[in-house]
């Protein structure tokens, strides 16, 4: 029988090599899926924080629904690109938006739950004490809550202080004791966060300070799911057909051009002329595009699964062919991520290895893996600093040209696929 240590090593190796999510890599290694529970709460796993949080609550209500359909109800995939330059630690970070309305948590939650016919209450409490007491009251009443804490303050992702206030994804708070709250963050094990730390994490980001969604009982019959799928598909097609080069498909074209431009202040040849922070930026591309990252990756494969689920609901067999096209597009994103952070470079291989080790600890062991995750976190940030130092003198012309070409191909492929989707849902 495979020992727990051997299983962890094999899952981590697969994640680092393929970029797969923890759940996918684990299922491949085990040859089966498994579910775990804590004090009556069933861990449903998940691939994207937002859709996984809703799915977890619905599954624990007894609803027969899977994450791909919840993701589709919210409008499916999106597009977005921002290159951040931080003076406080001289770092560069790329934010990629792959979910519909990725920049608006509350709006996405509201429309997703409305389409699924799930009643809910949204709460915002100005003070940390009031917010903490409200959460405690809901949990004591047996009502799990979707909250949106800052990942740095949560602690278990092992982020340095430079990430204070960068935000994070939704998690489900499902029970508490006098000193802490148990969270479900898409994994298979409980994560206990001290109450004071969670209060600080929930209050950290002003735009969604102390936001909390409490979901009521859902009645997900076939007609409701079909309607949610149809509205989600139309939303996706309309959203990605928009002209915005920040929050729709033209963002990929803009990013592609910025890989070669030498005049724009945000062009990569100009930003990275001195090589500073290049490894950080390339890692954030890998983390953002691959499911092994904290946010679920490019989500094109999740969308493809959603299209497959929509086929029988909507009686649209042509959606199956479109699903295969989006799986091909997922592979294009994987190719981009591999080109940005190739495992053949020893410094990058080490960074990838430590990055997925932390995620595997969080997903597979929860709080029980905290000590190992903390040690891997210490090593990761040392490895990242070393990689930034080693890449400072790298000739980036060929790398940037390759990434720009790949982005151009992705933009063309997604534009054609969305045009076809628009025809099908017209």
pLDDT digits (tens, 9 = 90+) for 298-310: 999 999 999 999 9
Position 89 confidence tier, pLDDT thresholds 50, 70, 90 = confident
Position 33 confidence tier, pLDDT thresholds 50, 70, 90 = confident
Q: What is the mean pLDDT of residues 88-100?
A: 90
Q: Which of 408, 401, 409, 404 minimizes the C-alpha distance to 328? A: 409
pLDDT of the residue at 1: 41
Q: Which of 208, 207, 183, 185 minimizes the C-alpha distance to 197? A: 183
What is the set of domains in the chain, with CATH numbers? 4-425 (3.90.70.10)
- How far is CA 371 from each of CA 17, 178, 259, 361, 365, rounded to the nearest angstrom? 24, 23, 40, 9, 11
Q: What are the phi and psi torsion angles at 339 (to 5°)? A: -70, -35
Report the share of the chain in percent with pLDDT over 90: 89
Position 2 confidence tier, pLDDT thresholds 50, 70, 90 = low
Neighbouring residues of 250: CB distance < 8 A, sequence distance ≥ 6: 243, 244, 411
Place of tokens 């953002």: 288
Is the pLDDT at 247 greater than 50? The verdict is: yes
Tell me the average pLDDT of the chain: 95
Is the pLDDT at 217 greater than 70? The verdict is: yes
pLDDT of the residue at 35: 82
Q: What is the pTM of this model?
A: 0.96
Contact in structure between 286 and 341 (CB atoms under 8 Å): yes
Q: What is the mean pLDDT of residues 356-365?
A: 96
Contact in structure between 270 and 322 (CB atoms under 8 Å): no
Neighbouring residues of 94: CB distance < 8 A, sequence distance ≥ 6: 81, 82, 83, 84, 281, 284, 285, 288
| 3-class secondary-structure state, position 41 | strand
């Amino acid at each position: 029988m495979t020992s727990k240590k051997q299983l962890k090593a094999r899952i981590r190796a697969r994640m680092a090599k393929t970029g797969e999510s923890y759940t996918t890599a684990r299922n491949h290694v085990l040859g089966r899926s498994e579910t775990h529970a804590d004090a009556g709460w069933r861990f449903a796993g998940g691939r994207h924080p937002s859709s996984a949080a809703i799915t977890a609550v619905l599954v624990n209500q007894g609803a027969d629904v899977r994450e791909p359909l919840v993701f589709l109800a919210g409008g499916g995939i999106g597009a977005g690109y921002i290159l951040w330059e931080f003076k406080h630690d001289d770092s560069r970070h790329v934010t990629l938006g792959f979910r519909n309305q990725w920049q608006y948590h509350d709006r996405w939650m509201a429309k997703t739950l409305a389409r699924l016919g799930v009643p809910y209450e949204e709460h915002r409490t100005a003070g940390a004490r009031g917010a903490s007491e409200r959460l405690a009251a809901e949990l004591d009443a047996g009502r799990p809550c979707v909250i949106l804490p800052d990942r740095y303050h949560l602690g278990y992702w092992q982020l340095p202080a430079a990430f204070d206030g960068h935000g994070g994804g939704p998690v489900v708070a499902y029970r508490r004791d006098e000193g802490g709250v148990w969270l479900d963050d898409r994994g298979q094990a409980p994560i206990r966060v001290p109450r004071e730390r969670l209060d600080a994490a929930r209050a950290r980001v002003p735009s969604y300070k102390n936001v909390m969604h409490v979901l009521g009982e859902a009645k997900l019959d076939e007609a409701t799911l079909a309607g949610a799928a149809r509205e989600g598909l139309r939303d996706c097609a309309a959203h990605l057909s928009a002209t915005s080069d920040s929050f729709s498909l033209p963002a990929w074209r803009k990013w592609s051009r910025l890989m070669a431009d030498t005049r724009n202040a945000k062009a990569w040849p100009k930003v990275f002329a001195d090589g500073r922070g290049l490894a950080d930026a390339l890692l954030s591309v890998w983390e953002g595009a691959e499911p092994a990252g904290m946010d679920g990756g490019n989500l094109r494969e999740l969308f493809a699964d959603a299209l497959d689920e929509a086929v029988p609901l909507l009686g649209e067999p042509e959606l199956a062919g479109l699903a295969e096209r989006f799986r091909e597009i997922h592979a294009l994103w994987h190719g981009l991520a591999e080109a940005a952070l190739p495992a053949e470079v020893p410094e990058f291989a080490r960074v990838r290895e430590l990055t997925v080790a932390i995620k595997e600890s969080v997903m597979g062991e929860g709080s029980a893996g905290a000590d190992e995750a903390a040690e891997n976190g210490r090593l990761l940030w040392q490895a990242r600093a070393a990689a930034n130092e080693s890449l400072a003198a790298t000739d980036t012309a060929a790398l940037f040209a390759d990434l720009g070409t790949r982005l151009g191909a992705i933009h063309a492929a997604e534009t054609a696929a969305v045009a076809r989707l628009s025809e099908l849902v017209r």
